């Protein structure tokens, strides 16, 4: 795959092939349902499809690698040639390796290649873009009592160190994408501080990706709205991010996000294309 083009903000559509993801668990566990949803996401404007076979929501139990492979591989194979790049959302090197062989062309790792001792080598042996996300702790316990002295400084410093570890392992910095990891070992205040300071991550020299879609902090800001009722909050947070130069948004609601981005772009970048 060639490098991603960032002429406009990109929308990454979420495809969770899991029974238990917080927003869409169980809906796309069967390969046919997953493939049909991927096609829908592309029709609605997704630039990338992110396929995951393990929920990393707070409290989630790890999934055996064999099961993760059984979930994601048929879907990734079926998406070959679908017209947009497919990323593999995993913390496990064998899943990265097999997914890349099956046609995935981007690695998305919520552990920033720390979850498996082999991951750096798998990424180095490929030419895939790599998304490095910050998380404090493990999904099982990460929301118990996350603590930071200065969350923005610490997440920034962590990502800087992970970029260094990647380049030391032979991964070209031009392939790296960073993500502050909203909701991964963060309180509401930590998430809001990061969202106010996304612009500070640009000095890392990599595109910035953000995942806020339907996350629980939005429920806490909206009187306890359930996951499927958090679209308005998701869009508000997405636009705040785009306004600070974030390059990629990871979302469940692709068409709605695309529309919000098109309006934002028409206002701020004068790139209106009329669809009557």
Binding site for ligand HH2 (CB under 6 A): 14, 16, 18, 21-23, 52, 55-57, 89, 108, 110, 131, 133, 179, 181-182, 209, 211, 250
Rounded-to-integer distance, Cα 276 and Cα 264, Å? 18
Angle between helices 188-196 and 231-243 (to 10 degrees): 40
Nearer to ligand HH2, 188 or 263 (CB): 188
The residue whose Cβ lies closest to ligand HH2 is: 211
Q: How far is the CB of 210 from ligand HH2 (least distance, A)?
A: 7
Q: How many other C-beta atoms can be found within 10 angstroms of the C-beta atom of residue 111?
A: 21
Q: What CA–CA distance (Å, rounded) separates 207 from 186?
A: 22
CB of 24 to ligand HH2, least distance (A): 7
We find the least distance from the C-beta atom of residue 52 to ligand HH2, in angstroms, to be 5
Nearest distance from C-beta of residue 80 to ligand HH2, angstroms: 22
Q: What is the dihedral of CA 234, 237, 238, 244, to 10 degrees?
A: -170
Rounded to an integer, what distance in angstroms lies between the CA atom of residue 260 and that of residue 251? Answer: 12
Residue (240 or 267) nearer to ligand HH2, CB: 240
Burial 255-269 (b: 16+ CB within 10 A, else e): bbbbebbbebbeeee
Shortest distance (Å) from residue 271 CB to ligand HH2:
26
Nearer to ligand HH2, 20 or 154 (CB): 20
Q: Which residues belong to the active site?
A: 215, 250
Is the separation of the CB atoms in 88 and 76 below 8 Å? yes
CB 211 within 8 A of CB 250: yes
Which residue lies nearer to ligand HH2 by CB, 28 or 261?
28
CA distance 48 to 247: 12
Give the shortest CB-97-to-ligand HH2 separation in angstroms: 19
Query: 58 or 103: whose CB is closer to ligand HH2?
Result: 58
- Between 84 and 268, CB nearer to ligand HH2: 84
């Amino acid at each position: 795959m060639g490098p991603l083009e960032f002429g406009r903000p990109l929308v990454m559509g979420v495809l969770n092939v899991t029974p238990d993801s917080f927003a869409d668990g169980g809906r796309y566990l069967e390969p046919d349902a997953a493939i049909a949803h991927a096609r829908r996401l592309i029709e609605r404007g997704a630039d990338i499809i992110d396929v995951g076979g393990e929920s990393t929501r707070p409290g989630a139990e790890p999934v055996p690698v064999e099961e993760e492979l059984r979930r994601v591989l048929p879907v990734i194979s079926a998406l070959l040639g679908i017209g947009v790049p497919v990323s593999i959302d995993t913390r496990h090197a064998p899943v990265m390796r097999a997914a890349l062989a099956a046609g995935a062309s981007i690695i998305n790792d919520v552990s920033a290649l720390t979850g498996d001792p082999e991951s750096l080598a798998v990424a180095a042996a490929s030419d895939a873009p790599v998304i490095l996300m910050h998380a404090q702790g493990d999904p099982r316990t990460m929301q118990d009592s996350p603590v930071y002295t200065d969350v923005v400084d610490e997440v920034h410093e962590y990502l800087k160190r992970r970029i260094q570890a990647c380049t030391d392992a032979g991964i070209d910095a031009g392939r790296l994408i960073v993500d502050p990891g909203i909701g991964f070992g963060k309180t509401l205040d930590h998430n809001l501080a990061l969202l106010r300071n996304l612009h500070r991550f640009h000095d890392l020299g990599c595109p910035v990706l953000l995942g806020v879609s339907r996350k629980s902090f939005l429920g806490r800001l909206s009187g306890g709205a359930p996951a499927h009722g958090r679209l308005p909050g998701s869009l508000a947070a997405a636009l705040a991010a785009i306004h600070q130069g974030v390059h990629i948004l990871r979302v469940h609601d692709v068409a709605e996000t695309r529309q919000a981005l098109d309006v934002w772009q028409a206002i701020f970048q004068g790139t209106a294309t009329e669809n009557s």
